[in-house]
Every structure is written in C-alpha cells, then in structure tokens.
Amino acid sequence: MNRQDRRKALGKGLGSLLPTRNAPAPAPAAHEPETPREGSVAWIPIDRVKPNADQPRHEFDPVAMMELTQSIERDGVIQPIIVRPTANGEYQIIAGERRWRAAKSAGLNEIPVIPRTADDQKVLELAIIENIQREDLNPIELALGFQRMAAELGLSHDQIGEKTGKDRATVTNMIRLLQLPEDLQNLIGAKKLSAGHARALLKISDPHTQREIAERCVGEGWSVRQIEAYTKTAHASSTPKPKQEPAPQDPNVKAAVGELESKLGTRVRIIEKGRDKGLIEIEYYSADDLDRIYNIIAGD
C-alpha cells in the first residue's frame, strides 16, 4: 500500500496527527533529556509517558506483542507515538500504546514521541479511530468502536463513516451485530462465526433459534447460504398460509425515516396503524446510546 492509500484509509482521523517524516534515529546511550516541541519528534524518558485510562482497547494479543517487542529490540521504535502534555512534565498517550508497551518490555529507557494539543473528546476520538484502523480487529470489536463513536462522541453513522473511511451502510450493519445475544457475539469475536453468518442470524427474531443455528454453523460448518435456506424452509413449514406482502412504504414516510436515521445515528422504523396514526420505533444499543438519543431529541 502506498503512502496516499494509507492516508486515504485513515479517513479524517489520525492522518492529521501523523505527518509524513523519516523514522527517528535510535536514541544515543548517553542522551540529555529533550524539551519536546509541538509537532516535532523528541526522545523522552519512557517513564514520563503514561497510557490513557479511557483507551478503548484493553486487550493486547500476547503473541503479537511479543513479535513487536522483538522487532523493537532489534530495530528500535520506528514510528513515534503521539502524546499530549499533562501535569508534572508527563505525557499521555493519544496513539501508539502498543509500541509503548512493547518498548517497555524491550527495556528501552527512552522513546520517540510527537507532542500534540488535544482535548479529552479529541483524544477519545483519535484513540477509537486508531483501533478501528487496525487490520486485526474482529467484527464485534469494530462494532463496539463504531458504537462508542456514536454514543460517546454523538456522531451520526454518516459522520463515523467520514472519519474512518467507511461507508454509512458498513457502519450501520456493523453496529447491528451488537443486537445479537452476548454468547453469539463471543463466537463472532473468536472468529468461529463470520460477519456474514451474523447478518443472516439477525434476520431471525428468536434468540433460541439463533443459538440453535449458530451451533450448527460452528459444529457442521454451515455457510451463510445454508442459514438462509434453513430459515426459509422452517418459515414455510410453520406458516399454513402465505402472508400477504406489505404495502409499499409511502415515499414521504421513507424519506422521513432516512432523515431521522441520519439525525439520530441509529435505525428508525415508522409503523402505520391506520389512517393518520402509527408508531415511531428508535433503536438504541446501550444506556449511553439511549442517553445520547434522548439529548438529541430533547435538544440538550
């Protein structure tokens, strides 16, 4: 992947914080502490750098960390970490906690940093985006990252897509995976079920049936098409009469649904209950998400 492609992939997030530069040379053995300047690479004692307690990623693959540690032992820290100044001459990590952890494991006394000025919300946004851009995220981790951007940063699915280089449909579909029972989410996180399996299971409303089919997917290696074929057969056998197709949705109602979903950053349904009557259903995925949607509606 060339430099232009990498910047495009980062959307509008870390690209603004990671200017293109040559890798810093390893710090000399005897080195006077530097005074870091905004946007410039500087070597500082590793003990003055602290992780962010609100870092979205709390689990680090031990095998990948060992490989990174060995790489740093051999070649040093190639890419500086991004930090912001805090009290007592210390620095909080914005992006690069894996490199910091590996550098500590490798026994480094100093580490290259690039200081930046950023408020708490910007730090959280960039930390989430950094994790979303990782190639080893499973679908549930990605969905949780998108959900945090919606719930904690108040971003719509369109805005999340713009910041992460994803399209709106991808963001919405990934967040929908969190509607599955937690045990099925764990199967997806363990890569025993794919995102395609998960989307097919979402078409089934009964959690017991979802689990039954998921077990067959894992145990018998069912494909997504097999799930769809099974559910169609089961539906046909349990329905004595074919259900009448619902009437096409009024274009004005459809447009209203689209506007509400864009404004609220979640799925919305308008259900007509007769002439000039109906229901509006608004989905939320956590207590924080409900609070976010309430504040949008209430205008707080």
Residues belonging to the active site? 97
Residues 80 and 132: their CA atoms lie apart, in Å, by: 19
Residues 109 and 100: their CA atoms lie apart, in Å, by: 11
- Residue by residue, DSSP assigns 163-204 as HHT--HHHHHHHHHGGGS-HHHHHHHHTTSS-HHHHHHHHT-
Half-sphere exposure of 129 (CA within 13 A, CB side): 28
Residues 266 and 294: their CA atoms lie apart, in Å, by: 12
How is the chain split among helix, strand and coil, in percent rounded to 5?
A: 55, 10, 35
Nearest to residue 270, comparing CAs of 299, 235, 246? 246
